[in-house]
């Protein structure tokens, strides 16, 4: 059986999985940490990738890299970084995002040009910040890569032209995903001069090879790789509960949302990956556990002691501001507290707030995609919570599928590598294993109360 290597170069670490190319079974995996911070010397990622790939690469016939989206890797004429990479979560370019949206012709024109309304995470905003705040560095930039492009170039044979895919390119702010072309005019306007960009490799195509002649796939962004790793299909909505909450789907049509709520990325298969993101997700539970003085298992047990609706307690969970809805200055609020309110009510309200926020994100996503929702999948660390498993299908009003825990970004990169190795029209069809179906009686009244609360607090941000 041929084996393929999938690498996830994430914000926090490099992970590598060695996978059976025919069945999608992971046979070995390694991980290595990355430096902390929102700006990082990208050469640290190369060291980490070497660490995780070294024990596995000789056994692989092909590989591909999934990586954190948006990060700016600016290189000079010698191919060396002109400064540390600015990562997706570096917000110093927020003012540049506002400025560039105006230059693009406003939010709707911006969405029509690049698929999304810019926020500080997008690469193009970081290039504008570089132009305005570090002009000496900006003047030296000869090439701009994304993190996964940079790592892919490292594992490729010397002399290989830098490459990327349309999925990760769609998060730069200077790529037209409907035409699959770079917008050098937008890059030049942001940076102050044009620069070399990686070749955009078609889905499933061979991008290059290693010095040992292993096939290299194009790689892609982390969200696109995760969708590929879970074999998302049109009609699927994926809800991910991490530090942030993400609702995403794959679609045959581009999503163009001038409000900026839906981000219109491309995917790794030739379609699109519309996405809605919330700033507050698992940390809603983190804070509630800390305030109640319990761990997460105890918080879940408390929540399940209270009835649906938490005896009238509701939480507006925008503790650190919020992106969906767009209330950057909002704070969290608790309402409905009475002398009879219990710790169980407070715990239940936190879970209901989290899941209603995700349900809102899923509804917004459905409004901007033509395919009806057929299946909801739930992943992320909080998906293991007993309370989330009980309450998610009730609040979402439909059964929920929970895939087994796994490194889905790395697995998606491995599936892409297997696709390039096989040379087929479509990615390999790996069997789905161990998914759990969660069902519960719907509780529409909970959603209705949270919808009312959200509308009531519109002007609080």
Q: What is the DSSP letter of 270?
A: S
Q: Are 366 and 345 in contact (CB under 8 A)?
A: no
How many whole angstroms separate alpha carbon 208 and alpha carbon 153? 9
Helices (H), 314-382: 343-367
Q: Are 33 and 139 in contact (CB under 8 A)?
A: no
Q: Are 310 and 352 in contact (CB under 8 A)?
A: yes
How many whole angstroms separate alpha carbon 8 and alpha carbon 409? 6
Asked if 165 is an active-site residue, the reply is no
Backbone angles phi, psi at 168, to 5 degrees: -70, -35
Q: With the C-alpha atoms ordered 140, 45, 223, 39, is the resulting torsion angle positive or negative?
A: negative
**Which candidate in 149, 222, 236, 360 is catalytic?**
222
How many whole angstroms separate alpha carbon 179 and alpha carbon 164? 16
328-331, long-range: CB < 8 A, 24+ apart? 328/461, 329/461, 330/457, 330/460, 330/461, 331/460
How many whole angstroms separate alpha carbon 126 and alpha carbon 121? 8
Neighbouring-strand partners of residue 32: 14
Q: What is the DSSP letter of 423?
A: T
Active site residues: 222
């Amino acid at each position: 059986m041929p084996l393929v290597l999938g690498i996830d170069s994430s914000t926090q670490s490099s992970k590598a999985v060695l996978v059976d190319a025919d069945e999608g079974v992971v046979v070995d995996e390694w991980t290595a940490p990355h430096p902390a911070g929102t700006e990082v010397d990208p050469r640290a990622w190369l060291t980490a990738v070497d660490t995780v790939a070294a024990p596995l690469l000789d056994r692989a016939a092909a590989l591909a890299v999934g990586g954190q989206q948006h990060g700016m890797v600016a290189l000079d004429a010698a191919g060396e970084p002109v400064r540390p990479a600015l990562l997706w979560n570096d917000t110093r370019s927020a003012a540049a995002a506002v400025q560039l949206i105006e230059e693009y012709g406003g939010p709707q024109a911006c969405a029509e040009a690049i698929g999304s309304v810019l926020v500080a995470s997008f690469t193009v905003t970081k290039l504008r910040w570089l132009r305005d705040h570090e002009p000496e560095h900006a003047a030296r930039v000869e090439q701009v890569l994304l993190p996964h492009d940079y790592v892919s170039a490292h594992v490729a044979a010397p002399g290989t032209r830098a490459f990327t895919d349309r999925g990760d390119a769609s998060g730069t702010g200077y790529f037209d995903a409907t035409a699959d072309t770079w917008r050098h005019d937008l890059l030049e306007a942001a940076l102050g001069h044009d620069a070399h960009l990686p070749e955009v490799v078609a889905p499933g195509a061979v991008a290059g090879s290693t010095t040992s002649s292993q096939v290299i796939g194009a790689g892609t962004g982390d969200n696109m790789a995760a969708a590929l790793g879970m074999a998302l299909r049109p009609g699927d909505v994926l809800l991910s509960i991490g530090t942030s909450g993400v609702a995403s789907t794959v679609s045959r049509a581009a999503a163009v949302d001038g409000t900026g709520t839906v981000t219109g990325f491309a995917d790794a298969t030739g379609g699109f990956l519309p996405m809605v993101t919330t700033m507050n997700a698992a940390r809603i539970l983190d804070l509630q556990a800390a305030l109640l003085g319990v761990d997460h298992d105890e918080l879940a047990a408390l929540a399940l002691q209270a009835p649906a609706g938490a005896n009238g307690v509701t939480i507006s969970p925008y503790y650190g501001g919020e992106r969906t809805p767009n209330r950057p200055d909002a704070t969290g609020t608790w309402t409905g507290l009475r002398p009879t309110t219990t710790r169980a009510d407070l715990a239940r309200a936190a879970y209901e707030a989290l899941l209603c926020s995700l349900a809102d994100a899923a509804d917004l996503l459905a409004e901007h995609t033509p395919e009806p929702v057929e299946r909801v999948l739930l992943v992320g660390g909080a998906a293991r919570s007993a309370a989330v498993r009980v309450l998610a299908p009730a609040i979402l009003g439909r059964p929920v599928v929970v895939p087994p825990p796994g490194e889905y970004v790395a697995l998606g990169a491995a599936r892409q590598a297997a696709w390039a190795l096989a040379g087929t029209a479509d990615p390999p069809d790996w069997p789905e294993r161990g998914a759990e179906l969660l069902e519960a009686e719907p509780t529409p009244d909970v959603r209705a109360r949270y919808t009312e609360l959200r509308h009531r607090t519109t002007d609080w941000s």
